[in-house]
Homo-oligomer: A and B are copies of this chain.
Amino acid sequence: MRSYKVIFQPGGLEVKVQPGNTIMEALESAGISADFPCGGRGKCGKCRVKILAGAEEPTAIERDILEAQELAEGIRLACSTRINRDMTVQLPNYTHQHNILTSGKKIFQIEPHLKKILVEVKKPLLDKQYSDWRRLKDSLEQHGYNGDALEVPVSLVRRLPETLRKANHRITAVMCGSQITGIEEQDTTGTMLGMAFDIGTTTIVGYLLDLYSGQELGVVSMLNPQTRFGADVISRIAFANQEEDGLAKLHAAVLEAINKLIREAADQAGVDKRDIYGVSIAANTCMHHLFLGVSPRYIAVAPYVSAVSEPLVASAAELKIDINQAGKIFVLPNIAGFVGADTTAVLLATELDRSEEVKLVIDIGTNGEIVLGSRDRMVACSAAAGPAFEGARISSGMRGAAGAIDHVYFRDRLEYSVIGGGSPLGICGSALLDTVAGLLELGIINKRGRILPFEQITNTKAHAYKDHLLEHKGEPAFLLADAGKTGHGRPVMITQNDIREFQLAKGAMAAGVKVLMETCGIKAGDIKEVLLAGAFGNYLTPHSACVTGLIPLELESKIKMVGNAAGTGSKQALLSSREYRRAAEIAGFAEFVELGSYPKFNSIFAECTYFKQFH
């Protein structure tokens, strides 16, 4: 089923919404708490929101309750407006002086890591020949800093005399704790921007944010250029270890990408990249290490330890990040093994650490990270899902880009949707999932994943798809689009081997879920919510995920999509030093289960590759 994207401002939280849902329902499913005094019956008018983009004609209730002026400005009622297109919604009730950001169930206070302070430095006098730095220090003491504890880099001292005099002793000091990281002529306190990154194995996403208001000024993304050195983390680690300058090449590639995205985001938003002072990095453990230029070698061999998991704050110059050189890079902490800072960010955004109820959080990307628990205990694991869900190793597979079939519907006849419309070029993970689910329900493939010969298929509904069953290079296959209908003139299909790949991937994920449930002594019935994060997690059809056993069947009604929660968590850590500290607590609190060393893991995994609710 098609869904629409709703972005809530300030903060830029992005959610997928089923067509026809109200904004109120969208808020609820996004976990944003809001007051609906009349219970959402369109009587009190308290749930006013402003539609910034995608507004439609007001409803009768809205015409009745709202002023003409309000209607003209795009003010609507969250309980009344239904979502029938992509929308951007401003939430006035949550914007107390542009100082808080909605995310998850709670709101958090923006507490910038860096501060800009306008100081009027005293001019030097013949009878008080205090040095430039001393006078600046004195001014900062007026602002509550302890002069003796202040740290200043030599590079800044070098610029101090001219900066002071050019600006007639009125300058802006950029502070990070007791460290003075920058000095700027005159008053630049009005602007402070930041970029929150989520560095995935396949995709890098960056969000340009106003560090004062939390407002999102732009989103940029690109393919991780490291993919040319290997599709998944294991092949990248091998490249880093075995190739000459392998680590340096991987490090340079991601740095270049980050700097390119920073330029792009600044250009698109019409801002100066030198106004960017903070960058947060959420990434899986391998991407985290490669970003830092640290060898990921020992993550891949027992006992699978990282070089560093703890939060790291470094200067922009030290990490060669092309923002204001007074800026800082805030690297989120990893949990353990392959469960990296991206998972920490997902937990930050989904607030599992504050949840009274037991929830299952799944972030499916090239790797799959699973966390089960509540504020009492959280247990995490990483399932080597492999890149099957991102289209790799699938005969017609491709990423979820334009031309990819993203959803498949087995109605009277086979229907599918294509990203961006037009003729299909291949299938992405969510379509693979839909197809396998559909074929299972039709009895076309059996419990073991075998595509049955047509004569063995007992479900009569399957007869409608007889023409789709064919043989391709000696193995059975299921045709989604024949050559005449595709953009490249080749058929798009799913082969027996594709189904085997799918089984390995879903088996790994399902086994991970099973091990965590065993570890915590939790049954599926105890789980109150399943939160799906990551690109694949947000595009998949929950029913298909449950039919195939990727997610336990009984949890279908509890599935909730939480968008790019890793990106959201990265934003939180960028906007709030308190949230960044919370990330460290989460990373320290979450327990880690190494699946490879879990007793009988191999048999659990093997069992999970089957579709056990079928014959």
Contacts and interface: CB of A to CB of B under 8 A. Distances in A.
A308 B131 contact: yes
A441 interface: no
Interface string A273-285: 0000000000000
Interface stretch (A311-319, A395-403, A452-460): A311-319
Interface residues of A, number: 46
Given A126-B597, A154-B318, A131 B310 contact: yes
Interface string A113-137: 0000000000011110111111001
Contacts of A306: 129, 131-132
Contact of A305 (B130, B157, B305): B130
A162 B295 contact: yes
Interface stretch (A32-40, A97-105, A296-304): A296-304
A158 B292 CA distance: 8
State the number of copies, please: 2
A201 interface: no
A498 interface: no
A592 interface: yes
A577 to B, nearest CB: 14
B133 A310 contact: yes
Contact of A131 (B155, B157, B158, B307): B307
A153 interface: yes
B161 A307 contact: yes
B133 A308 contact: yes
B294 A161 contact: yes
Contact of A294 (B158, B295, B336, B594): B158
A552 interface: no
Given A161-B295, A303-B126, A134 B597 contact: no
A172 interface: no
A160 B130 CA distance: 43
Q: Which of A306, A334, A337 has the most CB of B within 10 A?
A: A306
A154 B312 contact: yes
A310 B337 CA distance: 46
Contacts of A295: 158, 161-162
B307 A157 contact: yes
Given A154-B312, A157-B292, A303 B132 contact: no
A249 to B, nearest CB: 15
Contacts of A568: none
A131 B297 contact: no
A581 to B, nearest CB: 10
A117 to B, nearest CB: 19
Interface in A474-530: none
Interface of A: 124-127, 129-134, 137, 152-155, 157-158, 160-162, 165, 292-295, 297-298, 302-310, 312, 314, 318-319, 334, 336-337, 592, 594, 597
Given A129-B592, A132-B307, A134-B310, 8 more contacts: A129-B305, A130-B305, A131-B308, A131-B309, A132-B298, A137-B310, A153-B318, A158-B307
13 contacts: A126-B302, A126-B304, A126-B594, A126-B597, A132-B306, A154-B292, A154-B293, A154-B294, A154-B312, A154-B318, A154-B319, A158-B294, A161-B294
